[in-house]
């Protein structure tokens, strides 16, 4: 079992699965990775790059291998420390799929068919539904319970997925006796980071991201393309930082964001000025991570 051997015996074990989507963007970092870095000092933390899960939608093996490597390098560059946590690739541990098969024998198909993700994909892509999409939650449960993790950090929108894992554990324990602990949700206060369009969650599939490991020029270009307060037409119009995505992102890259917000309200600071400032701060904040990432990918 690829877990730390120096963890205190009474420390809780936590597990998180991470999709191998390639190098992450700032939404991934602010919404999840920063939390992973913090949890490695509070738990016996296990982080798994779930490349088997990715096979339900990614069918190019070269692309999957490249993106898995990019994600591993990015996680290490952003602060995951092998001395303080366990980080590995799902397909390197065949026991995950072995346990998933055992869990499938106690999991009714009706449970899987009612999951929100499966119902959504069945509706939106009816011609591209594979068995892996249906049984995805069973492998997800196996990922967690094979290490007898007792906690799983999740956003509130993911609570239903973890509850299904708990149901599967209860069914297995009922049939075979107490074997696995029911994992408990650790709800995080991680923000939902909007993309450069200012409307939808930042996502590579929506082409609205600000990349961490891009060139400085590309980062500036992405930030300068951000949609701001649509009601602020002229430079002299007062701004509304509460609805301006550029202003909202300043919260994560400087302690003076309230002062900056006030400058927006009083039209002291313009949208272009705010974008330039944000771009510079993002570039500076991730400078060390970009250097480490380049070394790991070399």
The string of pLDDT tens digits covering residues 263-294 is: 888 888 888 999 999 999 999 999 999 999 99
**Residue boundaries of the structural domains of the chain:** 13-187, 204-297
- For the segment 203-229, the average pLDDT, to the nearest whole number, is 96
- What pLDDT does 129 receive? 83
**Residue in the structure block whose two tokens are 């869990």:** 103
Whether domain 13-187 has CATH 3.20.20.110: the reply is no
- What pLDDT does 137 receive? 94
Q: Sheet containing 44-49: which strands, arranged edge to edge?
A: 86-89, 44-49, 13-18, 151-154, 184-187
- What pLDDT does 4 receive? 53
- What pLDDT does 232 receive? 85
Question: Tens digit of pLDDT for each residue in 95-107?
Answer: 999 999 999 999 9
Phi, psi for residue 204 in degrees, rounded to 5: -60, -35
- Residue 3's pLDDT band (cuts 50, 70, 90): low
Catalytic position from the list 122, 156, 201, 275 = 201
- For the segment 2-7, the average pLDDT, to the nearest whole number, is 51
Q: Which of 67, 69, 72, 45 is nearest to 54 (CA)?
A: 67
- 155 exposure class (CB count in 10 Å sphere: 0-12, 13-18, 19+): middle
* Range from 33-47, 91-105, 186-200, 272-286 carrying the lowest mean pLDDT: 186-200
Residue 167 near residue 144 (C-beta atoms within 8 A): no
Tokens of 170: 């209860």
- What pLDDT does 120 receive? 84
Catalytic position from the list 119, 122, 156, 204 = 204
For residue 262, how many other CB atoms are within 10 A of its CB? 13
Q: Do domains 13-187 and 204-297 have the same CATH topology?
A: no
- For the segment 105-116, the average pLDDT, to the nearest whole number, is 92
- Whether residue 115 is predicted with pLDDT greater than 90 in this model: the reply is no
- What pLDDT does 38 receive? 94
Distant-in-sequence, close-in-space partners of 298: CB < 8 Å, separation ≥ 6: none
- Residue 155's pLDDT band (cuts 50, 70, 90): confident
- Residue 27's pLDDT band (cuts 50, 70, 90): very high
Tokens of 155: 């956003």
- What pLDDT does 144 receive? 97
- Whether residue 220 is predicted with pLDDT greater than 90 in this model: the reply is yes
- Residue 5's pLDDT band (cuts 50, 70, 90): very low
- Residue 1's pLDDT band (cuts 50, 70, 90): very low
- What pLDDT does 67 receive? 97
Residue 4 near residue 35 (C-beta atoms within 8 A): no
Residue 156 falls in the annotated catalytic set: no
Residue 275 falls in the annotated catalytic set: no
Tokens of 9: 């015996």
The full DSSP string for the chain is: ----SSS-TTSPEEEEEE---SS-BHHHIIIIIHHHHHHTTTSEEEEEE-HHHHTTT---HHHHHHHHHHHHHHHHHTT--TTTSEEEEGGG-THHHHHHHHHHTTS-HHHHHT-HHHHHHHHH-TTS--HHHHHHHHHHHHHHHTTT--EEEE-GGGHHHHHHHHHHHHHHHHHH-S-SPPPEEEE------B-TTSSSB--GGGT---BSSS-HHHHHHHHHT----TT--STTSPP-TTT-HHHHHHTTS-TTHHHHHHHHHTTSS-HHHHHHHHHHHHHHHTHHHHHHHHHHH-
Which is more confidently placed, 82 or 119? 82
Would you identify the CATH topology of the domain 204-297? Answer: Tyrosyl-Transfer RNA Synthetase (1.10.240)
Percent of the chain beyond pLDDT 90? 73
- Whether residue 29 is predicted with pLDDT greater than 90 in this model: the reply is yes
- For the segment 68-80, the average pLDDT, to the nearest whole number, is 98
- Whether residue 72 is predicted with pLDDT greater than 50 in this model: the reply is yes
Handedness of CA 87, 90, 91, 97 (dihedral sign): positive
- Whether residue 60 is predicted with pLDDT greater than 50 in this model: the reply is yes
Residue 201 falls in the annotated catalytic set: yes
Query: How many Å is the maximal CA-CA distance in the chain?
Result: 70
Q: Which of 255, 298, 250, 244 is nearest to 278 (CA)?
A: 250
């Amino acid at each position: 079992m690829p877990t730390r051997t120096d963890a205190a015996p009474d420390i809780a074990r936590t597990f998180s699965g991470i999709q191998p989507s390639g190098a992450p963007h700032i939404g991934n970092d602010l919404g999840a990775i920063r939390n992973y870095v913090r949890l490695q000092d509070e738990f016996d933390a296990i982080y798994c790059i779930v490349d088997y899960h990715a096979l339900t939608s990614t069918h190019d093996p070269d692309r999957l291998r490249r993106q898995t490597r990019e994600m591993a390098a990015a996680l290490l560059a952003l602060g995951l420390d092998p001395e303080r946590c366990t980080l590995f690739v799902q397909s390197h541990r065949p026991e995950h799929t072995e346990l998933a098969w055992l869990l499938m024998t106690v999991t009714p198909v009706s449970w899987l068919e009612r999951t929100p993700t499966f119902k959504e994909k069945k509706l939106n892509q009816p011609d591209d539904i594979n068995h892996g999409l249906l049984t995805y939650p069973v492998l997800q449960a196996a990922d967690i319970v094979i290490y007898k993790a007792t906690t799983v950090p999740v956003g509130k929108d993911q609570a239903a997925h973890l509850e299904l894992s708990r149901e599967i554990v209860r069914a297995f324990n009922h049939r075979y006796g107490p074997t696995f602990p029911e994992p408990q949700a650790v709800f995080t206060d991680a923000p939902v980071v909007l993309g450069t369009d200012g409307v939808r969650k930042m996502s590579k599939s929506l082409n609205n991201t600000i990349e961490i490991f891009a060139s400085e020029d590309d980062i500036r270009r992405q930030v300068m393309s951000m949609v701001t307060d649509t009601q602020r037409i002229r430079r002299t119009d007062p701004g509304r930082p509460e609805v301006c995505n550029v202003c909202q992102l300043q919260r994560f890259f400087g302690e003076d964001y309230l002062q900056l917000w006030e400058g927006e309200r009083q039209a002291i600071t313009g949208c272009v000025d705010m974008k330039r400032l944000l771009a510079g701060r993002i570039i500076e904040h991730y400078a060390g991570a970009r250097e480490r990432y380049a070394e790991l990918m070399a």
